[in-house]
Amino acid sequence: MFKSLFFCSGLLCVASLSMAQNNVTNLNEVVVTANKVPQKQLQTGKVLTVISKEILERNVGKSLGEILNQQVGMQVVGSQLTLGANQEVSIRGLSNGYALLLMDGIPLNDPSTIGNYFDLNVISIDQIERIEILKGGQSTLYGSDAVGGVINIIRKKASAKPFSAQANLSGGSYGTWKGALNLSGTLSKNSSYAVAYTKLYSKGISQAANKKDDNLNEKDAFNQDAFRAQFQQKFGANLTTKVFVTNETYRADIDNGAFSDDKDFVANSRSTQIGVGAEYFVGGGKLVANYHYNDLKRSYINDSNYVAPDAYDKYSASNYGAKTNYAELYGSWSLGKNITWLVGAEYRAQKMNQTYLSISDWGPYEDAPLSDALANVNQVSGYTSFTLNNLGGFGAEAGGRYNHHSLYGNNFTYTLNPYYLLGKNLKVLANFYSSFKSPTLYQLYSPYGNTALNPEKSFTQEGGLQLFSNNQQSYFRAVYFNTTINDVIIFQSINTAPYGKYVNFNKQASKGLELDAQAQLGKFNLSATYTHQIGELTTKVAGKDTTYKNLIRRPENAFTLSLGYQASSKLYVSSTLRGVGARKDTYYDNDQFKSINVDLDAYQLLDVYGEYRINSKIKAYADLRNILNTKFVEITGYQTRQFNASIGLSLQF
């Protein structure tokens, strides 16, 4: 069903390429993620997806996870649960820790998590200008964790006017309301500022599902505050500097696990970021310097006022802290008309701490605290790449990175990305990447840690083609990918205390096909995506290599179909159908004291969006999600949102 449905829509989009007149996605648009310097999207062989400002403005009622979940080759498991639920970002079927999140090109990590991934819940969609998703192994330019790809979130920039304000006010289902305000301006030709604040609150629904499906569980609320300020100053014609500060917090009511309700279990999270940067034009090129500091704190408190019937503990408290320092310096120069040279160096330092205390009928239990005086590492890297831009239709990028880790030593990655433009309407591409993921601080220094761990190393091959219209505003793209990760780090049980240890043991493979297309027919715009992916894990059983499929909670097949209609200069409406194939899942049953494997059914969700521009400054919108009220399971034991809606006003002055 998934394949036939997509191919029908794909043929429709391809047939419409020559008829496209208006902008849907412009391949001449300048992007920055592909090789760290501005270039047109058409002039790279890498697989890049852009979520534009216009798309974000028409999804302002959704979370960041929901928007990413609609992109080809991506799944964000947990994005359909109540706000504040854990979200697992997957690119091409790989697990959460293999997708690197960037903020304005700078890596965002949380070293206190097992996988070193960053929590999407702290990021406000209202403060984002655009998102660029770059698939494939990107460690040459972006270092550790960029195995499946990178997601570059680009913040809103200052207005060219002395003062500009944007506001968004909305309310909707589950007692949800949001207010967002962005103020910015250019004080003179050399100074600009941008300040943003977002408040989001939802009474929510219960995270945990009820086995009897009677929906009597209590509601789990979510309360978010996000603040950001940036100031930019130019010194002459060649030097531009910036400084920014971000503070993002949330409080979320959570439950005690699958099918296990809890009335006073609370999660708190805070991310405070400070950064400075500079750009200096010199010698026909540009130098870029950035420094970024992030202080993260998380806590999970299960109070004793209410004890879930299947809970072991009457009270528990987990506290995690992490600090990251990131510094980079890179430069780019044109070597003739068609060649760009990029060279750079970066430094990363991470440390974490954690404590755990629980009280049960057997008395108190406390884990040995993990101190950041012990749990800390640093990495120093140097990298370079050369980009050949469209020499007689041929283009390519080739580069490498040397990385030195304070514990395991040295490793090297490389990339080779050739492409060829055949005439005006066809691009053929082939990409070869090696990438790596360093062991996390938890895997190194926790009670189960192993300081002898090596990095996980991967190799990715991509091949594909892209058809596009004469004005480069509509396209059809097909890409085959194959990624193999060696020395995968797993938790291995042992018979003596502490009864487990992290080791390099498995091999992970992910392969499949991505198809996506966009086109416009008069007042209609269409888009379609289809993803087919297979995940395979190779491990030793009784001394022999055994391979089995392991896409837990991630489908082999998924599609998205979108149709928009510009009814008039003031009214726009659209609908999106997303289909997710059958999946496997596993969960721990507190009643039976064991893990249980389950099959999750396929499902389809239909959303409808409409906006009406009252005047040049005010727009009203309505976002209706899951309008067929489909019941589905994303994670076993947890509730998903059924029909829900939000309405709001966007103001600009």
Say if strands 176-186 and 164-172 run parallel, antiparallel, or are unpaired.
Answer: antiparallel
Query: Rounded to 5 degrees, what angle do the CA atoms 190, 196, 198 make?
Result: 175
Q: In the predicted model, is pLDDT for residue 28 greater than 70?
A: no
Least confident of 42-51, 466-475, 488-497: 466-475
Distances (CA, A) of 343 to 38, 186, 292: 15, 32, 20
Give 477's strand partners.
466, 516
H helix or E strand, kind and range, residue 457:
strand 456-468
Distances (CA, A) of 234 to 157, 186, 242, 285, 290: 15, 11, 9, 17, 16
In the chain, what percentage of residues exceed pLDDT 90? 77
Tell me the C-alpha distance between 226 and 248, whole Å. 4
The residues, ordered by sequence, that sit 6+ positions from 541 with a Cβ below 8 Å of its Cβ are: none
Tell me the C-alpha distance between 457 and 437, whole Å. 7
What's the DSSP call for residue 24? Answer: S
Give the model's pLDDT for residue 18: 35
621: which 2 tokens?
């919108």
Q: In the predicted model, is pLDDT for residue 516 greater than 80?
A: yes
321: which 2 tokens?
């802290």
Distances (CA, A) of 105 to 16, 343, 385, 435, 485: 35, 15, 17, 18, 25
Quick check: helix, strand or coil at residue 599? strand
What integer best gives the mean pLDDT of the chain?
Answer: 91
- 381: nearest Cα among 324, 328, 417: 328
Say if strands 571-580 and 426-437 run parallel, antiparallel, or are unpaired.
Answer: unpaired
Tally of CA atoms within 13 A in the half-sphere of 387 that contains its CB: 21
The residues, ordered by sequence, that sit 6+ positions from 157 with a Cβ below 8 Å of its Cβ are: 129, 184, 194
Q: What tens digit of pLDDT does each residue of 273-323 get?
A: 999 999 999 988 999 999 999 999 999 999 876 666 656 667 889 999 999
User: Do 415 and 373 contact (CB within 8 A), yes or no?
Assistant: no
Q: What tens digit of pLDDT does each residue of 211-268 get?
A: 765 555 789 999 999 999 999 999 999 999 999 999 999 999 999 888 888 888 999 9
Residue 453 CA, chain-centre distance (Å), reads 26
Q: Is the dihedral of CA 486, 489, 490, 494 positive or negative?
A: positive
Q: In the predicted model, is pLDDT for residue 109 greater than 50?
A: yes
Quick check: helix, strand or coil at residue 376? strand
Say if strands 74-77 and 48-51 run parallel, antiparallel, or are unpaired.
Answer: unpaired
DSSP 220-245: --EEEEEEEEEEEEEETTTEEEEEEE
The H helix count followed by the E strand count for the chain is 5, 35
Q: What tens digit of pLDDT does each residue of 337-383 get?
A: 889 999 999 999 999 999 999 888 788 888 889 999 999 999 999 99
Q: In the predicted model, is pLDDT for residue 541 greater than 90?
A: no
pTM: 0.93
Q: In the predicted model, is pLDDT for residue 577 greater than 90?
A: yes
Give 475's strand partners.
468, 518
Mean pLDDT within 483-500: 92
Residue with tokens 């591409």: 429
What's the DSSP call for residue 438? Answer: P
More reliable by pLDDT, 415 or 37: 415
Give the model's pLDDT for residue 256: 85
Distances (CA, A) of 635 to 310, 477, 639: 19, 31, 8
Of the pLDDT bands very low, low, confident and very high (cuts 50, 70, 90), residue 171 is very high
Give 603's strand partners.
580
Helix, strand, coil shares, percent, the chain, to 5: 10, 60, 35
Give the model's pLDDT for residue 21: 31
User: Do 273 and 291 contact (CB within 8 A), yes or no?
Assistant: no
Query: Rounded to 5 degrees, what angle do the CA atoms 384, 385, 389 make?
Result: 155
Of the pLDDT bands very low, low, confident and very high (cuts 50, 70, 90), residue 6 is very low
Tell me the C-alpha distance between 353 and 371, whole Å. 5
Mean pLDDT within 123-147: 95
**CA end-to-end span of the chain:** 47
Give the model's pLDDT for residue 312: 65
Give 538's strand partners.
507, 547
Locate the DSSP E strands across 139-221. 149-155, 164-172, 176-186, 191-202
What's the DSSP call for residue 552? Answer: B
Least confident of 101-105, 213-217, 350-354, 458-462: 213-217
Mean pLDDT within 96-109: 94
Tell me the C-alpha distance between 234 and 238, whole Å. 8
Q: In the predicted model, is pLDDT for residue 392 greater than 90?
A: no
Tell me the C-alpha distance between 561 and 577, whole Å. 5
Tell me the C-alpha distance between 327 and 200, whole Å. 32
Give the model's pLDDT for residue 206: 92
Mean pLDDT within 431-456: 96
Tell me the C-alpha distance between 535 and 551, whole Å. 5
